[in-house]
Every structure is written in structure tokens, then in C-alpha cells.
Amino acid sequence: MHEPAPPPPAPDSVLSEPLAVRVALTALAVLFLGLFVLLPLVVVFTEALRPGLAAVRDALADEDAMAAIRLTLLVAAISVPLNAVFGVAAAWAVAKFEFPGKSLLVTLIDLPFSVSPVVSGLVFVLLFGAQGLFGPWLRAHDVEIIFAVPGIVLATVFVTLPFVARELIPLMQEQGMADEEAALTLGAGGLRVFLTVTLPNIRWALLYGVLLCNARAMGEFGAVSVVSGHIRGLTNTMPLHVEILYNEYQFAAAFAVASLLALLALVTLAAKSILEWRYADELNGSRRH
Amino acid sequence: MSAAALVPAAPAGRRRASRRGVLPGFGLTMGLTLFWLSAIVLLPLAALIAKSTGLGPSGFARVLGDPRVLAALRVSFGVSLAAACINAVFGVLVAWVLTRYDFPGRRLLDAAVDLPFAIPTAVAGIALASIYAPNGWIGGLVAPFGAKIAFTPWGILIALVAVGLPFVVRTVQPVIAESDREAEEASATLGASRLRTFRRVLLPPLIPAILTGFALSLARCVGEYGSVIFIAGNLPYVSEILPLLIVVKLEEYDYAGATGLAAIMLAISFGMLLVINLIQAWTRRRTGDA
């Protein structure tokens, strides 16, 4: 999301700070990042591995942990593709056409980012909960949404909705539509234009958005916690399972499951950095200066 | 997930469609977009607003008259403000060091800035709680002096600083990278000290980005839940944050109270969003950059 760090200019006596200042500032920045960003990561892995690798394996092989992992994968497998399709459609509409209210639409797409996770979960309780708007109807028809998997999916879709659209809109706006128009002139149909011209142009940004969307979908805690009901083996996702284990003072098991999530975050971050370094130009539009 | 993703997009679509409607698919994609946005975001938020207006002024007065709510508001805002201020200072420092200096591990550190975005909040929460608990790595260092970090408002501050940091770094970094080195050179040639050059030449163009990062960080901190609740101690009136109070009310089946609080938080979010948009618009006007 930022410049892929061009090599900084050689230190120049006029255009840079004295060496001692540079060293001090760098040390301070490294210390700050180390304390607030790196140390928590280190702790997750050391705490998880302290009782040994076998304990980690046992904690992850536990029935409830396995159920939580399966549910997390299921929720991500549903919500990420949905939001990817939405993101592509929204980017196509916003980037390729002019219409009134466009900037309002873009702001609305961003909205879930500014809402507290707890509020994001609560809105679905107000709609589908026992006291909710559709509560009586749902109960009459024996449909469970809150404290069940559908509610978890809805909350996850809500919080991850902007990710793909946010990456694609600026990029596709920047790319314009000359390529697509050329293909149309040559007689290609709409779908063919999209698949053979647009999609190759946006593939890395799409992947980037999907990665971020997936990381958040698997890691979301607040919104999911409100709608889940924390039923072990049924409505517990991995982050919720971490919470339950931690509150039961099963620290080793909590950190074992947490380390799996941390690993996911690291892989996401590595993939994201590689994309940023290698395909900087093709992600260009996603970097808003 | 990333700071830039939260910055309202610049209206880059300046090159207008030359011939509107040449490309197909407007109806389909627009329909899909509006349907999904309405079903997932607008309808649920509308339900919240509808429910909360049902409370009426007296209902809101009751919610806001509760001293526990006022205490949570004070804790949430006070600590979030402090965290955003710390982040504004250290975020600029980190962004500066990462863009201007070269040192081994710089790229790795640069990638690590996004860790708070990538790590699930619950994971960060239990990690921070165990670091700063009285028997933790850092909590244990200060415990002999009778100081406590975790399970006090200081713990909340630690968690919020970690959560909000990337927002400032990622909004300020590109501006530093693009800053005009010639102006710096001129300033140095004209005899200004390095500090004076920084204050008079380098800092002013950074101000809008710092303000945006500050606002983004603040907005995120006020709503943050997962990474705070483990380290906060959650003592009512002392270390209980607003989002947690919503959860507590929900667990007590006090739907009216939860709805009222959520509506207040939503209003705060909208307010912050407006402020951020205004800063962006002001910046664009000032720099004439689309």
C-alpha cells in the first residue's frame, strides 16, 4: 500500500541528519516497532512452543479446536468469494461508468471499515436475533441465524466487504478503458472482454485484495463474537476458541491455536510484500498518495 | 486492513468516459453492487438507526445518564486520544526512518509495520496481556516497583498504540517519499540548520497526512475490541471500554441499552469519517492534486 521502498539516497551531510542523530532515531524506531509489533508475535510462538511441539499438536488435534478450524475455513470459503465477486462488480461499475452519486457509493463501500466490530455484529442481532426485526418470523419458520453459522457468515461478510473493492476501484480507474474499448471494437463480447482483457490487468490487485479479505475473514473476532453465542464445537471460530481457552487459563492451548492464526497472518504479510515488491506497477492504482 | 485502504479514494476518475455506455455490464454490475451493499451494510445499519430512534430522547437520556456509560465513554475516548497522539509522533518517526535511512533489515521492518493489520485482534490481545501481566516479560520488569500495566488503563493504551500505529505510518510514508528534496537543498544552502529545515520545509507538507493518520488511528482505537479486552482488566468505571459495555449489555439482555450505545458509536464513526473526508478534501484543494 505504499512505495516499495526505493533505496534511500546516500547520506549527504547537507540533506541528512548527523550520523549520531540518524543512529538514535533509527534505534528509537526499531525499539518502538519491536516493542509494540514484533514482541507480541514472538510471544505467541514462544508461549505456544514452551510445552513442546507435541503439546501444540495435541491442542490443535483437540475435537473443539478442529471444529473451530473447520468452521473458520468454512466461513472464509463462503465470505471471501462473495466479497471478491462484489468487489469486481463494484469496481467495474465505479471505474468504467459515470453516474451521479459515485463518490457517495465509494464512501458507503468503505463504511464497514469505520464501524466498530462489536456494532457490526450487533446490527445482525437487531435484525435476526430473538428480539430482532425478523426474529419472530425466523423462529416460526425454524430458521437459526444468530448463534448459528449463518450469523457468523453475515458478520464476516460485513466486516470484509470493502477489501477487494478498495484494491480494484483505484487501479481500474487509473487503467481507464482503452483496452476494453479496443477489444469491443474488434468484436469481442462483454464477458470475453472482461475475462481476456480486464481480468489479466487486475489479477495481482485482485489477489492482493483477496489475501487481505481472507486474513480478516479468518481472524475477525469482535463482530463474530457478538453473533456466535460461543457454542463449542458448533459456533466457535478459531479466534473465539482462543478466547475461550485463554479465559479458562489453558494458556498453552490458547497460544497453540493463536500461533496457527499468527502463522496465517505471517503468510498473508509475506505474500502481500512479495506482490508489492514484484508487481508494484500492476498494483499501482491501489497506492493512493 | 491497511491504512491506505481506509483513506477515502481520490476521485481518480477525472478522465470521463468519452462515450458513456460503450462498455456493457453497467446494469448488471451496478445492480449487483447496490444489492449486496444494501443487503449486507445498509439494511443492517438502517435497522440499528430505526431501533435506536425507537428509544426516543428519554431512552437516550437514560443510556447517557448511566454513570457506567459515561465512565466507559471517558475511558474509550481518553485512552484512544492518548494512543493516537503517541502514534502521530512515533508513526512519523517510524515512517521517516523507514523512508530516509538505510539499515540492515529495513525492508523486513517495513513489512512488519502491517503486522497489527494482519494479526487477528484476539491473538494480539492475549499476546499483549501475557507480555504486560505482572508475571510477563515486561510486566515482570516493572512489578518489583509496584507498577502495574496489564489490567489497568495503561494496558488499554498499550493495546491501542499497537493497533493504531500502522495508520499513521502508512499515510505519512508516501508523502515523505515524495517530498521535494530540492526545497530541502535550497533551505540547507541558505544556511538553515537541519532541524530548522525539518520544521520549516519538511514538516508542513506532512501535516495533512499526519492529521489523516491521527484521525484514522483514533477512529480505529475507539471501536477496537479484541486486542483490548484481554489486557484491560475490564473493571467497570476504570478500565471498561465502550465496545465491551455494548457486549455486556447484550449479555444482560438489555437490548435497548446496547442499541443506544451502538447508535452513539455509529454516530461517532460517521463523525470521524466526515472529518477524515474533510481533511482529504482540504489536502487536495491545498495541493491541487486529484
Q: What is the pLDDT of residue B92?
A: 96
Question: Residues 181-220, chain B: which have Cβ within 8 Å of A?
Answer: 181, 184-185, 188-189, 194, 219
Q: Band of the pLDDT at B188, cuts 50, 70, 90?
A: confident
Pick the more confident residue, B14 or A201: A201
Task: Specify the fold of B65-289.
Answer: MetI-like fold (1.10.3720)
Question: Which chain A residue has the Cα nearest residue B280?
Answer: A289
A13 Cβ neighbours under 8 A, 6+ residues apart? none
Amino acid at A228: S
* Residues A140-150, mean pLDDT to the nearest whole number: 92
Look at residues A85, A16, A96, A211 and name the one whose alpha carbon lies nearest to residue B97: A16
Chain B residues within 8 A of A129 when measuring between CB atoms: 255
Q: What is the pLDDT of residue B29?
A: 94
Question: Which chain A residue has the Cα nearest residue B157?
Answer: A36
- Alpha-carbon torsion, ordered A172, A175, A179, A184, to 10 deg: 40
Q: Provide φ and ψ at A62, rounded to 5°.
A: -55, 145
Is A215 in contact with A207 (CB distance < 8 Å)? no
pTM: 0.89
Chain A residues within 8 A of B37 when measuring between CB atoms: 86, 90, 105, 108-109, 161
Res B282 pLDDT > 70: yes
**pLDDT tens figures, A49-105:** 999 899 999 999 999 999 999 999 999 999 999 999 999 999 999 999 999 999 899
Around Cβ B214, how many Cβ atoms within 10 Å? 24
How large is the ipTM? Answer: 0.88
Q: How far apart are CA A225 and CA A140, in angstroms?
A: 25
Inter-axis angle of helices A63-96 and A162-175, nearest 10: 30
B139 Cβ neighbours under 8 A, 6+ residues apart? B131, B132, B133, B148, B149, B150
SS3 annotation, B169-182: HHHHHHHHHCCCHH
Q: How far apart are CA B252 and CA B240, in angstroms?
A: 16
Please give the distance of CA A71 from its chain centroid, rounded to a whole number: 17
Burial call B182-204: b when 16+ CB within 10 Å, e when fewer: eebeebbeeebebeebbeebbee
Supply the DSSP string of B204-265, one letter for each residue.
HHHHHHHHHHHHHHHHHHHH--HHHHHHH---TTTT--HHHHHHHHHHTT-HHHHHHHHHHH
Q: How far apart are CA A109 and CA B17, in angstroms?
A: 22
- Alpha-carbon torsion, ordered A240, A242, A245, A251, to 10 deg: -160
Q: What is the pLDDT of residue A160?
A: 97
Q: What is the pLDDT of residue B14?
A: 43
* Residues B160-189, mean pLDDT to the nearest whole number: 90
Q: What is the pLDDT of residue A42?
A: 95
**pLDDT tens figures, A7-44:** 555 545 567 788 888 999 999 999 999 999 999 999 99
Query: Are residues A105 and B33, on separate chains, in Cβ contact within 8 Å?
Result: yes
Question: Which chain B residue has the Cα nearest residue A27?
Answer: B97
Q: How far apart are CA A128 and CA B139, in angstroms?
A: 43
Supply the DSSP string of B81-126, one letter for each residue.
HHHHHHHHHHHHHHHHHHHH---TTHHHHHHHTTHHHHS-HHHHHH
Res B2 pLDDT > 80: no
**pLDDT tens figures, B56-98:** 899 889 888 999 999 999 999 999 999 999 999 999 999 999 9
Is B150 in contact with B134 (CB distance < 8 Å)? yes
